[in-house]
Structure 1
């Protein structure tokens, strides 16, 4: 098929939507499809439109549906789509959900959090990672530190400095150091990170890293903190599980929908003291850390590229079937 994949993230961006678009292009081309990634859509012909972000891509979705009313349309729901306006969705988001033949959700609890009429359109897809698992076996930890990493752009949705704030409450004998890798969303976040760096001796801000540098950071860390207040299904969680890196995560649906309800490493979202307690437990309780290791190891298979490709092909096939009665 000739597929147009639309994403709001420009070429060269390290935003999650761009990484997802590039990875999906690769996976779909492995199956013999031709895929073009665009950031704006003007009615170009294609066999199927695959849109990342119901709200930000709504103009492209509307143009495609008006231009090609009988062709398949797949819309991927992000955390912003689902959770920013969860109880009063914008008209644009509702239109995109209605227009789609298939909706892709990036964690297993998405169906609980979208309007009931759209749930039968939903296909669950777990994002994958190409990070090599051997990074964990080759990890070299810096002497004297128990390193905790936070990976992602610095912005409100990520609650990016929660781990740094939690580190301020650690006892003097703790060896925990928090390393934050990410680009600030705006000047406000630039100032917050700069102030934290100045005031908090347990905090390092590494800025935006290339993929290989991010892999090295994960390999040299004992724990990853995923502190978001809203997520559609963060790819960094997939990467951590495949790398065998224990995760301590806020107890939001986007994290529970990836790690499972029985995962041991949650803390109440936004609760600094609870996160401090979990970090201390990971540092001081070898059985607890071993449990987290085992749990992410067991989860790793669901985040492999072949599983993501299978789910992606299922979503596209279902969309074609709903339009024409035939699968490709």
Structure 2
């Protein structure tokens, strides 16, 4: 029987960030079985879904609390983001209430389980996100530049200044560092504009559509992720599934995605270490090949079929345990 599912996502298509990509993809995975809507929130006057899936503990706290109070018998899922796991559930009472209210918790990589209170780990599961694989780019002749890109909006958690500073320290003559993302922080946008004017190695491309960003990414020598906190970065998946190796800050969320033994880590905030990795990836063929092999070994975890099956299994089990509900005319 078809059920009504509401995905609460504070991020919208206009934001074009990882949370929105998750909400959009999950809606697509579930729509051939259920009636699925995506909204920024939920209030008592709104139609009641049979299941609520909420992204972001703090920003979806009001929707989860209202749904739990009005319909305690109906299941809810909270998808924990990087700021949830690595900041908000330790400091924000609304975020802490959200992890209590939700029937089930979803983490996007296993390292985050250690951040949950022990009593709540039994209702948590890991669902890796996914991206369709793209055919690796094979240029007809050696390109003039070997691009390393960063994909992420300019905000403090992503630490774009680390990438900008690394661009000034890289020495390989063919290296060019490209940044894709909008300036959510005006000061960081100003820093990017200054860097672009002063350093020919650095280019800020601004916000691109998701499709255009992936096409640009697949043509890169490597992808850098400099974040201070991540729940399970979509951009890692999108790099891995198009054959682009990753240079990643050594934080829990990235290690949960790429594995503890991955060779491409640098200390978070260490621009010099990132620059050394960029140079090494361009001068040491064995090192570059190792990164590609390690990323390829992770790729099956990020297959759309695996994510879709895990999501549907979770939803099916929540409905099986819940009191019987139907998608009637009133709930539409």
Same fold (TM > 0.5): yes
Q: Answer yes or no: is the 8 Å Cα contact 2:218–2:239 preserved in 1.
A: no
CA spacing shift, 1:206–1:175, aligned 2, 3 Å: same
Q: For the residues of structure 2 that align with 1:59 and 1:25, how far apart are their CA atoms? A: 21
The answer for the alignment partner of 2:66 in structure 1 is 63
2:205 is paired with a residue whose SS is strand
Residue of structure 1 equivalent to 2:264: 265
Is the deviation greater in 228-237 or in 34-43? 34-43
Q: CA contact under 8 A between 2:88 and 2:95: conserved in structure 1?
A: no
Shift, 1:28, TM fit: 0.9
**How far did residue 323 of structure 1 move?**
3.6
Alpha-carbon shift at residue 154 of structure 1 (Å): 0.8
Cα drift, residue 11 of structure 1 = 4.1
Q: CA deviation at 1:85?
A: 3.5
Distance 1:209 1:143 in 2: 22
What is the deviation of 1:216? 2.1
Task: Say if 1:14 and 1:142 are closer, same or farther in 2 by CA, change over 3 A.
Answer: farther
Q: Are residues 1:121 and 2:111 paired?
A: no
Q: Is residue 138 of structure 2 the alignment partner of residue 155 of structure 1?
A: no
The question of whether the paired residues in 2 share the 8 Å contact of 1:74 and 1:316 is answered with no
Q: Distance in 1 between matches of 2:286 and 2:109?
A: 28
Displacement after TM superposition at 1:241 (Å): 0.8
**Of 213-222 and 228-237, the range deviating more from structure 2:** 213-222
Instruction: Tell me how large the CA RMSD over aligned residues is.
Output: 1.8
Tell me, what secondary structure is at the counterpart of 2:282? helix
Match of 1:41 in 2: 42
Normalised TM-score (structure 1): 0.93
Shift of 1:218: 1.2
Q: Which residue of 2 aligns with 1:82?
A: 85
The size of the alignment, in residue pairs, is: 321
Q: Which moved more, 1:158-167 or 1:16-25?
A: 158-167
Residues 157 and 141 (structure 1), Cα distance of their counterparts in 2 relative to 1, 3 Å cut: farther
Superposed displacement of residue 238, structure 1:
0.6
In structure 1, the gaps of 5 or more residues are none
Following the alignment from structure 2 to structure 1, what is the Cα–Cα distance between the partners of residues 305 and 177? 33
Q: How far does residue 275 in structure 1 lie from its aligned partner after superposition?
A: 1.0
Sort the Cα spacing of 1:208 and 1:113 in 2 relative to 1 into closer, same or farther, 3 A. same
Deviations 1:222-274 (A, max 9, x none): 00001100000010111111101000000101100010111111011111111
Cα distance in 1 for residues equivalent to 2:42 and 2:57 = 14
| Cα pair 1:123 1:311 within 8 Å, conserved | no
| Counterparts of 1:95 and 1:128, CA distance in 2 | 29
Deviations 1:23-62 (A, max 9, x none): 10000113x1110101121232111011011110000001
SS in 1 for 2:147: strand
Residues 75-108 of structure 1 deviation map (CA, whole Å, 9 limit, x = unaligned): 100011111245x331111111011111000111
- Structure 1 residues 230 and 297: CA distance shift in structure 2, 3 A: same
Question: Is 2:146 aligned against 1:146?
Answer: yes
Match of 2:107 in 1: 105
Matched residues in 2 for 1:315 and 1:102: separation? Answer: 9
Give the distance between the partners of 1:140 and 1:110, measured in 2 at CA: 42
1:259–1:139 Cα change, 3 Å: farther
1:177-230: CA deviation from partner (whole Å, max 9, x where unpaired) = 100000011211221111111122210010101123212211221000011000
- DSSP-derived class of the 2:5 partner: strand
Say if 1:206 and 1:92 are closer, same or farther in 2 by CA, change over 3 A: same
Q: Which residue of 1 aligns with 2:329?
A: none
Write the distance in 1 (CA, Å) between the matches of 2:78 and 2:313: 13
SS of residue paired to 1:161: helix
Structure 1 residues 320 and 77: alpha-carbon distance in aligned structure 2, compared to 1, 3 A threshold? same
Counterpart contact for 1:166–1:276, Cα < 8 Å: yes
Supply the distance in 2 between the matched residues of 1:233 and 1:307 (Cα, whole angstroms): 16
